[in-house]
Amino acid sequence: MSKQVQQLDRVVIRFAGDSGDGMQLTGDRFTSETAQLGNDISTLPNFPAEIRAPAGTLPGVSSFQVHFADYDILTPGDAPNVLVAMNPAALKANLADLPRGADIIVNTDEFTKRNLAKVGYQASPLDDGSLDGYALHPVALTSMTVRALAEHDVSKKDAERAKNMFALGLLSWMYSRPYASTIRFLERKFAARPELVAANTAAFKAGWNFGETTEDFGVRYEVKPAKMNPGTYRNITGNAALSLGLVAAGVRSGLPVFLGAYPITPASDILHELSKHKRFGVTTMQAEDEIAAIGAALGASYGGALGVTTTSGPGVALKGETISLAVALELPLVIVDVQRAGPSTGMPTKTEQADLNMALYGRHGEAPIAVIAPRSPSDCFFAALEAARIALTHRTPVILLSDNYVANGSEPWLLPDVDSLPDLRVEFATEPNGEDGKTFLPYLRDPETLARPWAIPGTAGLEHRIGGLEKADKTGDISYDPANHDFMVRTRAARIEAIRVPDVEVEDPDSDARVLVLGWGSTYGPIGAACRALRQRGLPVAQAHLRHLAPLPANLGEVLGRYERVVIPEMNLGQLAHVIRARYLVDAIAYNQVRGLPFTSTELESMLEEVVKNA
């Protein structure tokens, strides 16, 4: 008997289980299936911080949340409509996030006394009535998968591991997802072991058929494609987009790209991705430590390459001395900081925006540099291009402040026309530039950008001194002259202020808002969703977002002056708010959290409603 098909405009699903249950893979495959249908998508992976947390415990829970809709969405969703819980720990860790009435699909095979005791359950929540407010679907995922694979030439352990494919098949049926791409993925992933291809495919189909035949699921759902601009799209994570942006920067500049990196969560994926693109002139080096990584990258820039180093907050602290050296040398360098919760090791798999102060000021001496931040996973591509443009044009280090939220989250990305990307070609110094026609002046500056010449080592007649000691203006000789030092310090600062950045744009469709919400980085989505909800309720509110944090847009002071209240939500204790107050004497309202999680649009909407009504 065919089942009822119900149309929905949006759904939020969270897959959760032990770190060995394959929840990231399951969520990624469901996302890929959803992308093929043309839904708008936003995802939020959540990893355990411990590499090998004890199985079945709360610290070992891994989850993947996907929000998909038939319209433009800005966040991975505030609360799941569906939770797939592979064990008691996954249920307990995520239950508080679910609204009443949400669907909960649980793997009953894992609700043993031992597993319940691991997370503090005195009795099974499947039996004690504590889940009566939810639509509970008990499914023996493990044992059903093992029975479905009884005729396949795989061990019991491999059969049990395929339970995530059973769950994926069930959810793919429930939400009418196409699954041909998943079958092709399995064929590629297990190409060397045909028996695993057959087993995982059978597990997936068993889950699909279970949904089709069981009486527990009487309805399946459809979410129609979203209306999107025409073109070719791919689903992309922030780290992948940032990597491709660096590749594009190398192609558009005509320079080899050199990445010096030391593995660190959550930036390591950039090293992995860039290592695949040698054919585009990309060289990657996994260094022995953070200091060696940035030293090699700066050396590559000296040699005429686009030097890049990637890290997270602890690594930026170690790289500080070499960043200051790059400031003194006045060479291009891109430093990618994928922020995570600190201090120290902190919560390495959780998100935060607490490195802004370090990016702006975290060096010895007066050592200003440019700082930019992407706002979404796909925007990481363009942010990388912009960081390269600034670095190459102005001969300066640039810190690109991503964070764990945008780095591992994903969304559809409209592939750009390559010819529309900025021309980043650089003119190297090839001839002496002194008035006598024979002398090379390594610190003779371009009058517009204040950048000094970039001379490739070994170019005849362009020998010059490098190093961290203060240089004399124009000649580059070592100088201890107080007046020269004052001049050089001020000139390096003026070089950063001379960077041309676009004016900040304000989204204020009602044109009569008294409250401006100012954000930077990954707060863009939750702020935008909250402002959209308020406007739909007739409450006018304006939104502006900063990509360039140093230098700040030239029109920012004028924009801030238009509004009675300026609210700055940040995943820190008010770092941008402090800058805005000091620079523009605006009594900005800081709204802060440091929970290792992104803002929800609901909490921002509630807070902003009070501000708007009182303005």
φ, ψ for residue 285 (rounded to 5)?
Answer: -130, 120
- Number of other residues whose CB lies within 10 A of the CB of residue 479: 17
Give me the chain's average pLDDT, please.
96
Task: Compute the C-alpha angle 425/428/432, nearest 5°.
Answer: 155
Residue of 13, 77, 8, 66 lying closest to 525 (CA atoms):
77
Question: Residue 410 corresponds to which tokens in the numbers above?
Answer: 């994903």
pLDDT at residue number 50:
81
pLDDT at residue 317 above 90?
yes
pLDDT at residue number 161:
95
What is 4-223's CATH number, 2.40.30.60, 3.40.920.10, 3.40.190.10, 3.30.1130.10? 3.40.920.10
Between the alpha carbon of residue 530 and those of residues 75, 268, 533, 570, the distances in Å are 10, 32, 5, 14
Cβ atoms of 59 and 90 closer than 8 Å: no
Percent of the chain with pLDDT over 90: 96
Which has more confidence, 591 or 50?
A: 591
Q: What is the value of pTM for the model shown?
A: 0.95
CA distance 609 to 170: 40
Distinct helix (H) and strand (E) counts, the chain: 20, 22
- Per CATH, the number for 234-420 is 3.40.50.970
Burial per residue of 92-101, b for 16 or more beta-carbon CB atoms within 10 angstroms, e otherwise: bbbbebbeee
pLDDT at residue number 425:
97
pLDDT at residue number 586:
96
Confidence category of residue 1, pLDDT binned at 50, 70, 90: low
Each residue's pLDDT tens digit, 142-186:
999 999 999 999 999 999 999 999 999 999 999 999 989 999 999
What is 506-614's CATH number, 3.30.465.10, 3.40.50.920, 3.30.450.20, 3.40.640.10? 3.40.50.920
Residue that is written with structure tokens 């990305």 in the block: 413
- Residue 282's beta-bridge partner residues? 257
Cβ atoms of 281 and 250 closer than 8 Å: yes
pLDDT at residue 51 above 80?
no
Confidence category of residue 309, pLDDT binned at 50, 70, 90: very high
Question: Residue 62 corresponds to which tokens in the numbers above?
Answer: 């891994």
Confidence category of residue 49, pLDDT binned at 50, 70, 90: confident
Cβ atoms of 55 and 61 closer than 8 Å: no
Same fold yes or no, 234-420 and 506-614 = yes
Taken in order 82, 412, 350, 357, the sign of the CA dihedral is: negative
Angle between helices 313-329 and 290-302 (to 10 degrees): 30
Each residue's pLDDT tens digit, 421-477:
999 999 999 999 999 999 999 999 999 999 999 999 999 999 998 999 999 999 999
Confidence category of residue 510, pLDDT binned at 50, 70, 90: confident
Residue of 303, 338, 323 lying closest to 369 (CA atoms):
323
Confidence category of residue 615, pLDDT binned at 50, 70, 90: confident
Between the alpha carbon of residue 178 and those of residues 43, 245, 511, the distances in Å are 19, 30, 44
φ, ψ for residue 288 (rounded to 5)?
Answer: -75, -20
Average pLDDT of 312-338?
Answer: 98
Provide CB contacts within 8 A for 132, sequence distance 6+.
none
Average pLDDT of 288-308?
Answer: 98
Percent of the chain with pLDDT over 70: 100
Domain boundaries in the chain?
Answer: 4-223, 234-420, 427-500, 506-614
Confidence category of residue 2, pLDDT binned at 50, 70, 90: confident
